[in-house]
Amino acid sequence: MLPTTPLAADSLEHLAWMSGAWIEDAHLRRCEEIWSTVDAHTLMGMFRWISDDDVSFYEFMIIKATDVGAELHVKHFHPSLEAWEERTQYQAFILTGLEEHRAIFAALPNQDAEEDTGGWLVYTLTDKNHLDVRIIESDEEIKLHFQFHRET
C-alpha cells in the first residue's frame, strides 16, 4: 500500500534531483517534462504530450512547501491553452513518501469532484539520466508510466 500521510516539508531541497529537462520517445507518443531548480520555496514544472506530431495537451505544475507538507499542483490545458479545470481549480497532491531519489505524492480530495479520484504520482530517479514517473490509481493499478531520459 502506498503512503497517504503527509510528510513535513520545511525545505524542497530534497526534491532538487527532479530538476532538468526530461523526454520520452515512445511508440505512440513523445512527452516532455521540465522541472526548474528549487527557488523561492518552489519547483516549477511544465509537461507536453505529443501524438502524431500534434500537441495533445499541456500541464503547468508547481511544488510548494506549505504548513501541511510539500504540495504538487497540476493545471491541464488543451492545445489552445484553454484550461481543463475551472479557473481556480487544479489537481492537487501532497508528498507522502520520500527516499533519496524517490518521491510519492498522494492525490488530495477534490471538493468539486463527483467522485474521489484518489491515486498517486511516483517520481523515481533511476540513475542521473533517467526519471521514471508512474501515475497510480486508487486501486494501485498503474494508469500511466513514463520512462524519461535527461535531454542534453
User: Count of CB atoms within 10 A of residue 112's CB?
Assistant: 9
Q: Are 130 and 148 in contact (CB under 8 A)?
A: yes
| Four-way CATH pick for 13-150: 3.40.50.720, 3.30.300.280, 1.10.3720.10, 2.40.128.20 | 2.40.128.20
Hey, what's the cell of 40?
Answer: 523561492
What pLDDT, on a 0 to 100 scale, did the predictor assign at position 109?
84
Q: What's the pTM value of the predicted model, to 2 decimals?
A: 0.93
Q: Are 16 and 37 in contact (CB under 8 A)?
A: yes
- What are the pLDDT tens digits along the chain (152 aa)? 899 999 988 789 999 999 999 999 988 899 999 999 999 999 999 999 999 999 999 999 999 999 999 999 999 999 999 999 999 999 999 999 999 999 999 999 875 555 556 899 999 999 999 999 999 998 889 999 999 999 97
Domain parsing of the chain, residue ranges: 13-150
